[in-house]
Amino acid sequence: MNQPTLLSAIARWIVSADFPDLPDGEIAAARAALADFVAVAAAGSGTPVVRNAALYAAQNERAGTCVQQLGRTVRFSPRTAAFLNGTAAHALDFDDVSWTTIGHPTVGIAPTALSLAVAQGLCGREFLTAYVVGAECAHQIARWTMPQLSEHGWHTTLANGVFGAAAAAAWQLKTDVSTTTNALAIAASLASGIRANFGSQTKAIHAGLSNLHGMMAVELAAAGITGKDDALEASDGYAACFAARLPREKCTVDLGSRWDLMENGLVFKQYPCCSGTHPALDVWGEWVDKVHPKLDDIEAVHLGVSLLGPLELISHCPRNAVEAKFSMEFALASRLVYQRTGIEEFTDDKVLDVRIQALMKKMTMEIDPDLAKLGFIGTAPVRIRIKTKSGVVCLANDLAKGNPEKPLSESDRKAKFSSCVSPIAGSETAARWWNELSTLELLSPNQLSLLGAL
């Protein structure tokens, strides 16, 4: 008997999935991810890239606006709101990370789930379930196509995330198996996102496009547009074009028996910049706090990184805040000069500070031979050699705090949430949002529609 195609098998699971099927650990993981998403989307809502994207949206959108942009009073259609909230949530590069995808899963999926939940009058439980369905489908496909997809230069937040957004939308719109299969096939043709655009506003737009394209795929399928059900594993299919040919007989669809969010977890960031800097920032920060070095004491800093490092940390002498998000040199210089690497440090003026520019010029980065042996991984282990006037210091760190093995505490996550939301909505509103998100699955449709409202 022939096996069903991969997309049709995934579609069958989407249609049958329901909240009572979710393990408690999966619900807890989703709840934490969605709280982090709301926080970083609110914090990013006023960034230049979101202002530019909102200008585009206002020029191209007509009446029928019903979903509010997080952290703002303006309302848009569900698809546009998802696009803007996805862009906002990724704008600061403060959003969660998955090592299954080596990307940012939640920002490419949750905005879709939230927009459609609000537009359709769904409750918190349905919002959470839609997000889980989307994330698990995206991670299922990632297990078949990673790390080759990322090695080829694709930004998985969009290239993989679009399947998650489509899955979430299909679940919420209750499309049948055939329509859902077509939607996933259409999503395969809408997948995109190149890493060469890191260090520009387009990188943040990738998360918005994941939601926009995912919702569009479902809308097109619902209108009768068809796709090939073997679009994933076909000889010229998604896997062959983006990663490597995918033999159907070697692929197991284990949705519903394997729960990636619960089993592998997500990384919640401490710093609003590329995760490739985070292990270095942790160990560098400990050294700075212990030694209190002066700028003139540091003669040279050499950074040994793993294979992904030079591909994502591309800005060695950044000239603006967006480029600085992808600069190991700026991250470390900021931690020494400003004593922190937070949202407030990523401004053009602070990047161009003469002390920062001078210290960055003392830093070099290259692949460490021993770390290269680990393969194409996202965890960003680092080896740092610091030459000072008094001698040489060697530091090493294999994993940043915020990973499942070194988790942020609930108080850490709450503090991050408050620091992101309070400047936008006030401390009382931030506390209310946190409490509501902590029991998200209990929220009524009306409570969910007011979440994020100012």
The CATH number linked to 130 is: 1.10.4100.10
In a domain, 71, yes or no: yes
Domain contains 402: no
Q: Are residues 68 and 200 in the same domain?
A: yes
3-class DSSP assignment, residue 65: coil
- Considering the domain boundaries, does residue 291 fall inside one? yes
Count other Cβ atoms within 10 Å, centred on residue 159.
Answer: 29
Question: Which position has the token pair 């585009």?
Answer: 56
With beta carbons less than 8 A apart as the criterion, state whether 247 and 19 touch: no
pTM comes to 0.95
Q: Both 290 and 261 in a single domain? A: no
Query: Is residue 63 domain-shared with residue 25, that is, in the same domain?
Result: yes
CB 227 within 8 A of CB 163: no
Residue-level pLDDT, tens digit, the chain, 454 residues: 578 999 999 999 999 999 999 999 999 999 999 999 999 999 999 999 999 999 999 888 764 456 667 777 677 889 999 999 999 999 999 999 999 999 999 999 999 999 999 999 999 999 999 999 999 999 999 999 999 999 999 999 999 999 999 999 999 999 999 999 999 999 999 999 999 999 999 999 999 999 999 999 999 999 999 999 999 999 999 999 999 988 888 899 999 999 999 999 999 999 999 999 999 999 999 999 999 999 999 999 999 999 999 999 999 999 999 999 999 999 999 999 999 999 999 999 999 999 999 999 999 999 999 999 999 999 999 999 999 999 999 999 999 999 999 999 999 999 999 999 999 999 999 999 999 999 999 999 999 988 866 5
Q: Looking at the structure, tell me whether residues 207 and 187 fall in a common domain.
A: yes
Residue 430 located in a structural domain: no
Q: Is the dihedral of CA 29, 30, 31, 36 positive or negative?
A: positive
341 and 253 together in one domain: no
Q: Are residues 248 and 293 both part of a single domain?
A: no
8 Å CB contact between 48 and 204: no
160, 286: one domain: no
Assess whether the previous peptide bond of 407 is cis (omega < 30° from 0): no
Do 135 and 153 fall into the same domain?
Answer: yes
Which helix (H) or strand (E) covers residue 68, if one does?
A: strand 67-68
Residue with tokens 């489908």: 137
Domain boundary among the residues 223, 247, 268 is at: 268
- Indicate which CATH number applies to the domain containing 332: 3.30.1330.120
Within this chain, do residues 244 and 318 fall inside the same structural domain, yes or no?
Answer: no
What is the C-alpha to C-alpha distance for residues 78 and 84, in angstroms, rounded to an integer? 10
- Do 151 and 299 lie in one domain? The reply is no
Domain end call among 397, 413, 428:
397
* CB neighbourhood size of 222 (10 A): 17
Is 343 inside any structural domain?
Answer: yes
Largest CA-CA distance found in the chain, in angstroms, rounded: 72
179 and 40 co-located in one domain: yes
24 in a structural domain: yes
Last residue in a domain, options 375, 397, 419: 397
- The domain tally of the chain equals 2
Same domain, 253 and 280: no
Q: 104 to each of 38, 275, 430, how far by Cα in Å?
A: 14, 10, 24
Domain hosting residue 306, numbered range: 275-397
Total Cβ atoms within 10 A of residue 344: 12
- Beta strand extents in 280-437 (DSSP E only): 298-305, 363-367, 382-388, 391-397
Residue 417 belongs to a domain: no
Report if residue 368 sits inside a domain.
yes
